[in-house]
Amino acid sequence: MEKRELLDWLHETDERRLEELWRRADEVRRAEVGDEVHLRGLVEISNVCARECLYCGVRAGNAEIDRYRMSADEILACARKAVDFGYGTTVLQSGEDPKLTGPWVADLIHRIKAETGLAVTLSLGERSRKDWEMWKAAGADRYLLRFETSNRELFERIHPAVCGGKPAERIAMLRELRGIGFEVGSGVMIGIPGQSYEDLANDIELFAELDLDMIGVGPYLPHPETPMGRGECPALPTDQQVPNSEQMTYKTVALTRLACPRTNIPSTTALATVNRESGRELGLQRGANIVMPNLTPPEYRCKYEIYPAKACLHETAEHCRGCLERRILSLGRTVGGGRGDSRNWQSRQGDKAASPSLKAEGNTNG
Ligand code: SAH
C-alpha cells in the first residue's frame, strides 16, 4: 500500500467506508493465519523499573505504587497454570528491573522449559546482548520490545536515556534480537501526544520493513502519576495529532494486517480497556489473531499499573480463561493449539533449511 493510501485510511472516519477496511483486513487474516486464535498466558513478573518513561505508570519516579518482584516458584506456578489452561506460550513481562539478573532469568527459563515445554516469550525491556544470548541459550523463544514510535525525536523525548547513557536504539535492538535467533515482536502506542498521522503511517511501514513476527498496538492511555498523563507533553494541532481513540486503534490493527499479512497480531488489553464490552472481539475481527490472557496473581496484577483501570484487573486467571474462550467461540473462531509460532517465522525457518540445497543446485548448474 502506498503511503498516500495509508494516510487516507488513517484519516478516514466514516464508519461505512471503514467497513471496507475491516473486511479486507479480516479476509487477509483468515487467508494468511487462519481462524485459530492463539492464547499467550501473560505473567507480569516485576513492576520494579529503573527508567523514567514519560508515559508509563511503573516508571521509577512514581512513588505512589507498591513495588513487587515475583519469586521463581511463584512464576513457575503461573506457567503450570498456563499448561492446565491449554495455552502454548507464557509471556514474562516486567519493568526494567536490574535485580532480574541475566543468570537468574536464565535459570527461570530453564525451569519453565524443563517442567512445562511451553514456548517462552520475554518482554523485559532493553538488556545487554550478553543477557539476550544467555536467555536464548536457556531456551527462550521470543522477545517483545515495542519501538513505541518511529519518530526518533519523539521517542527520545518520551523515553529518556538512563542517567548519563545514550538514547535507546530499540530499532537496532530488534535487528540484534532477530540475529540472536528470537522470534521478534514489537509495536507502538497510538495517540501519544506529539505523534502525527505521518508518524503512524511510518510506524506501519517500519513493521513491514522489519518483517516482525508479532506486532502489538494499543491506544496510549494517560496515567495520572506520569508527566505525560499530567499533560506535560504537548500535543500537535488537531489536524496533525493522532487521537488515542478506539477507532484509530482498529484502523492501525487493520492496516498492520494488510502490511504484514502473516504476522501475529494481538487484540490488546489496552483495546479491551477502552471498550470492555467488545474491544477484544472487534480487534479480532479487524486483523488480530492473538489474545494474551493475564495469569499474574491478583495481588500483584493490581500493582502492574502501566496505565489506570486496565481491563481484567480484578479477575482470576480462571475467569479470564473462560471469558476469553467464550468471546473467541462467539466469533466462530477456534482456540489455537500448540505454540502458535508466527507464519512469518516459520517461512523464514523454511527458507533457511532450503537455502543449502538451493545453493547446491546453483553449484551443479555451474
Ligand atoms: N519494560 C518493558 C515492558 C513495558 S510494558 C518494555 O519497556 O519493553 C509494555 C508496553 O506497554 C510498552 O511497551 C508500552 O507500549 C505500553 N504502555 C506503557 N505505558 C502505557 C500507557 N500509559 N498507555 C498505553 N500503553 C502503555
For a substitution probing ligand 1, which of 56, 96, 124 has the most ligand atoms within 8 Å of its CB? 56
270 ligand 1 Cβ < 6 A: yes
Closest CA to 125 of 156, 148, 151, 152: 148
Q: Whose CA is nearest to atom 6 of ligand 1?
A: 125
- Residues for the chain: how many in total? 366
**Whether residue 366 has pLDDT greater than 50:** no
Residue-averaged pLDDT of the chain: 93
Q: Give the mutation target among 43, 100, 189 for probing the ligand 1 site: most ligand atoms within 8 A of CB.
A: 189
Position 354 scores a pLDDT of 67
Compute the distance between CA of residue 145 and CA of residue 161 in angstroms, rounded to an integer: 16
Q: Which three cell numbers stand for residue 56?
A: 508509563
Ligand 1: residue whose CA is nearest its atom 20? 56
pLDDT in tens, 124-140: 999 999 999 999 999 99
Q: How many CB atoms lie within 10 A of CB 323?
A: 14
What's the CA-to-centroid distance between 287 and ligand 1, angstroms?
A: 21
pLDDT in tens, 157-202: 999 998 778 888 999 999 999 999 999 999 999 999 999 999 999 9
CA of 124, closest atom in ligand 1: 2
Strand segments, DSSP code E, in the chain are: 36-46, 89-94, 119-123, 142-144, 183-190, 214-219, 290-291, 334-335
How many A from CA of 230 to the centre of ligand 1? 17
pLDDT in tens, 69-111: 999 999 999 999 999 999 999 999 999 999 999 999 999 999 9
Statement: residue 58 has pLDDT above 90: yes
CA distances to 178, 248, 340 from 356, rounded to whole Å, are 20, 44, 27
Cell readout for 259 is 502490511
Q: Is the CB of 189 under 6 A from ligand 1?
A: yes
Q: Is 306 close to ligand 1, i.e. is its CB under 6 Å away?
A: yes
User: What's the CA-to-centroid distance between 220 and ligand 1, angstroms?
Assistant: 9
3-state secondary structure of 239: coil
User: With bands split at pLDDT 50, 70 and 90, how would you rate the model's confidence at 320?
Assistant: confident
Q: Which residues contact 186 (CB under 8 A, 6 or more apart)?
A: 144, 145, 146, 147, 170, 174, 207, 210, 212, 214, 215, 216
19-42 per-position pLDDT tens digit: 999 999 999 999 999 999 999 999
CA of 3 to the centre of ligand 1 (A): 27
pLDDT band at 350 (very low <50, low <70, confident <90, very high): confident
How far from 351 is each of 32, 33, 211, 296, 355, CA to CA, in Å? 18, 18, 14, 37, 6
HSE (side-chain half, CA atoms, 13 Å) at 348? 17
Could you give the CA distance from residue 192 to residue 361 in angstroms, rounded to a whole number? 51
pLDDT tens, position by position, 190-210: 999 999 999 999 999 999 999
Task: Report the C-alpha gap between 362 and 366 in whole angstroms.
Answer: 6
Cα-based angle 247, 150, 312 (whole degrees, multiple of 5): 45
Residue 47 contacts residue 95 (beta carbons within 8 Å): yes
360 pLDDT higher than 90 = no
Contact 39, 338 (CB under 8 A): no
Q: Whose CA is nearest to atom 11 of ligand 1?
A: 306
pLDDT in tens, 237-256: 999 999 999 999 999 999 99
Q: Give the Å distance between the CA of 189 and the centre of ligand 1.
A: 8
